[in-house]
Structure 1
Amino acid sequence: MDLILWRHAEAFEHPDPVLGQQGDPQDLARRLTPRGEKQAARMAAWLDRQLPSAARVLTSPAQRTEQTALALDRKYKVREELAPGGDPLALLALAQWPHGKTPVVVVGHQPTLGQVIARLLGLAEEDCPVRKGAIWWLRQRERGGALQTVLYTVQTPELL
């Protein structure tokens, strides 16, 4: 199974950086900046060439993640479980990791994406940094009777 974790592209800052909180209505309404729109388009063009047509796309209800997913020009499902501050285990359950039959693209947020990466790759840290607009493509495979998680690729919009 392939799990593609895509952090939303660059977005405008929270309008109330002092009192605002991750996942509040103002945070969920934040949109991509013009630079973020370009990042999303660049990454989506690359990703579209790599993904099979049967790939599922799941996104957070935040405006910036939906805008990022829209750049891919494929059907997607908005899932509340992927909202900012979401549970990494809920993300894995939604993706049906590791036993799903089709690749899954999850458009989401930090630190949840980084927590999923750290867990699946067995990193010492609880969280892994993920740049805005970047994808981490993980693959589950069997070798010698044991399941392994392999980092297939990491791609950032700046390198495309």
Structure 2
Amino acid sequence: MDLILWRHAEAEDGERDAKRALTSKGRRQAARVGAWLDHQLPEHCRVLVSPAVRCLQTADALRRHYTIHEALNTDSTAERMLEVCGWPGNRFPALLIGHQPLLGELASLIVTGAPQPWKIRKASVFWIKGSDAEDSTPFIRLAVGPELIGKMR
């Protein structure tokens, strides 16, 4: 199973965290990364999204069907997020659109076995390749920020 982590794009500042919308820069970031991801993701990839406005707007840029899941919200845990996507046993890849520090903790938990304070920057993608018939160890397939996506086309 592939697990792709996409941190929401740049959002406005504000006290009502769940209602913060993307900035104009964030909308450009989401559009660039979403268009690129759409060409990279398998057709049968599940897309799971935090209910926060900035995550929903980031997901909209992908232009694929997605499911809103409370387990991806800011008050969740890396373990709960793994449970929701079915890592590592689900045979279908999953794209999770969520928040820091949870996405960084989730990535480090899979790669090192313990949650660490890894940082995934805004609008960045962290792609983990799960075990396959040849190797049972997950590995980092890709880690890229929005500033490089346009150069990778």
**TM-score normalized by the length of structure 2:** 0.92
Partner of residue 68, structure 1: 58
Which one has a bigger Cα radius of gyration?
1
Within 5 A, what are the aligned runs for 1:5-154? 5-14=5-14, 16=15, 26-122=16-112, 126-142=116-132, 147-154=136-143
Structure 1 distance, partners of 2:73, 2:115, is 22
Per-residue displacement from partner, 1:96-142 (whole Å, max 9, x unpaired)? 00011111000000011000111111177722011000010001124
Structure 1 distance, partners of 2:115, 2:71, is 23
Structure 1 distance, partners of 2:115, 2:77, is 17
Corresponding residue pairs, total: 149
1:154 shift after superposition: 0.8
Structure with bigger strand share is 1
**Cα contact 2:106–2:115 (8 A) shared by 1:** no
Structure with bigger helix share is 2
Structure 2 gaps of 5+ residues are none
Structure 1 gaps of 5+ residues are 17-25
Per-residue displacement from partner, 1:42-77 (whole Å, max 9, x unpaired)? 001110111111110000000000000000000001
Query: In the alignment, residue 19 of structure 2 is paired with which amino acid?
Result: A
SS for the counterpart of 2:91 is: coil
Query: In the alignment, residue 3 of structure 1 is paired with which amino acid?
Result: L
SS for the counterpart of 1:141 is: coil
Structure 1 distance, partners of 2:104, 2:3, is 13
SS for the counterpart of 2:20 is: coil
Alignment root-mean-square deviation, CA = 1.5
Runs of 4+ aligned structure 1 residues displaced above 6 Å come to none
**TM-score normalized by the length of structure 1:** 0.88
